[in-house]
Structure 1
Amino acid sequence: MKIIKMFLTISIMLILASCGFLYGEPTTKSDAITDISEAGWEVNDFEYTNQFGEAFGTKDLEGEYWLANMIFTSCPTVCRTMTPNIIALQEEVNKQGLDLQFVSFTVDPDFDDAGSLKKYGEAYGADFSNYHFLTGYTVEEISTFARESFKSLVQELPDSNDIMHSVNFFLVDGDGNVIRFYDGDSDFDENAILRDLKSILR
């Protein structure tokens, strides 16, 4: 039994250590900001449906920097913090004339149709001129997309009305590479993130 436990422990340590090899070793700038520009994360091509029922995808974002996150309209927990945080960022970004698009992917596409997402965005005061709430895929598709593009887990929680998803905001460059992620929840630091965005976008 001791040998088995030792083997399992070593295996877990090797798996964790391999993450740096697989994704590149991230450089942490602060608790709020993680630089992954050298990690080689690329966003998969996609075309989904926005809050107006229109097709929207990577072709519409070519050459644009964009900030992505995952939410769902009936989220009982972290989205209630994350969404006001990202809206606050959008307001400051627009006020300061920074060229940045915002994209939220619902992790509950069976419930969140275009109309639901439009109402959700309106309720939080999103400016739809550069904010795109997306649906129009299956749960399996968004789970795969989140895992492959943002190295993030999307998973329904048994006996719960919650869905596990990332609380990070992912900054994507004009070539579709993820170059930063920002904590959108407990370590959210609006001023630090804005300074970082300015240094990249100007």
Structure 2
Amino acid sequence: MRFSLIFFVLLCVGCSEAGITPETAEAYHRHHPLSADGYYIMDSLTYPGNQPIDENGKLMPEPVRDWTYVNQDGDTVTNKDLLGQVYVVDFFFTSCPTICPTVKGNMLRIHEKFGHRDDFKMVSFTIDPKRDTPEAMKEYVTKLGVPNTEDWWYLHGDKLETYELDADYLSVAEENANAPGGFDHSGYIVLVDKKGFVRAYASGLQPEEVDHLMEDIELLL
């Protein structure tokens, strides 16, 4: 699967500063800005989500809905705590027997490159809150070898709320008794900008897609 091209196209000045121009950045679709605020319409793709469609059939930007969760340290955190930071999101469960180890390996690559930055965060939502308590996720993080849990939140909250929230992040996460481990989830790593808008996503199973995602992170920082 090819990397899903950036949805809300970066401001031209930001791209120019990064040495990327419309002539050289063939991987990106660019559209005229939707408003003076600099937000951009994005390509219509077939994926779950709640974004409205304009008169041209293009998906219009909407920020992720408000949420409140508890992280692995027992602290209550919200999406508003992330305003002003670029962050990536995935949905997982600690007992996942299939894709999660690979996705987490690629998330670790992202953490190694950007985890030291004050303007960057990583966020992992559990889709199995019954078993993945904050304490259980704290142990999981320790085994992953993440020294500073403030860089990477593992979030515990209401199951149904999480299943609704995943659509805002263009992901799939739901219970399925027939799926390995009892859950279906997409394995996407989703990139969100400093204003809370989803900008891109990549398959966490494809290292080359994650490479592209890391390039996009650099453009947004």
TM-score range relative to shorter protein: 0.7 to 0.9
Q: Distance in 2 between matches of 1:192 and 1:154?
A: 24
- State whether structure 2 residue 215 is matched by structure 1 residue 195: yes
* Deviations, residues 31-58 of structure 1 (Å, cap 9, x unaligned): 2342111331421101100001110111
Is 1:113–1:136's contact at 8 Å kept on the other side of the alignment?
no
Q: What is the aligned partner in structure 1 of residue 138 from structure 2? A: 118
- State whether structure 2 residue 122 is matched by structure 1 residue 151: no
Aligned partner (choices 42, 64, 79) of residue 43 of structure 1: 64
Q: Distance in 1 between matches of 2:115 and 2:165?
A: 28
Is 2:191–2:213's contact at 8 Å kept on the other side of the alignment?
no
Is 1:68–1:169's contact at 8 Å kept on the other side of the alignment?
yes
**TM-score using structure 2 length:** 0.70
* Deviations, residues 78-117 of structure 1 (Å, cap 9, x unaligned): 101001110111111136x573100000011111110111
* Deviations, residues 105-157 of structure 1 (Å, cap 9, x unaligned): 001111111011111111112231310000021x211111112x123322222
Kindly indicate which of the two structures has a greater share of residues assigned to helix: 1
- State whether structure 2 residue 55 is matched by structure 1 residue 34: no
Distance apart, 1:73 and its partner CA: 0.4
Is 2:6–2:201's contact at 8 Å kept on the other side of the alignment?
yes
Aligned residues: 169
After superposition, the Cα gap between the structure-2 partners of 1:195 and 1:151, relative to the gap in structure 1 and judged at 3 Å, is closer
The sequence identity of aligned pairs, in percent, is 27
RMSD of equivalent CA atoms: 2.0
What's the secondary structure of 2:219's corresponding residue? helix
1:181 alignment partner AA: Y
1:68 alignment partner AA: V
* Deviations, residues 152-173 of structure 1 (Å, cap 9, x unaligned): 3222222442311121111111
Q: Any unmatched runs of 5+ in structure 1?
A: 1-29
Show the 5 A alignment for 1:94-133: 94=115, 97=117, 99-126=119-146, 127-133=148-154
**TM-score using structure 1 length:** 0.76
Is 2:62–2:197's contact at 8 Å kept on the other side of the alignment?
yes
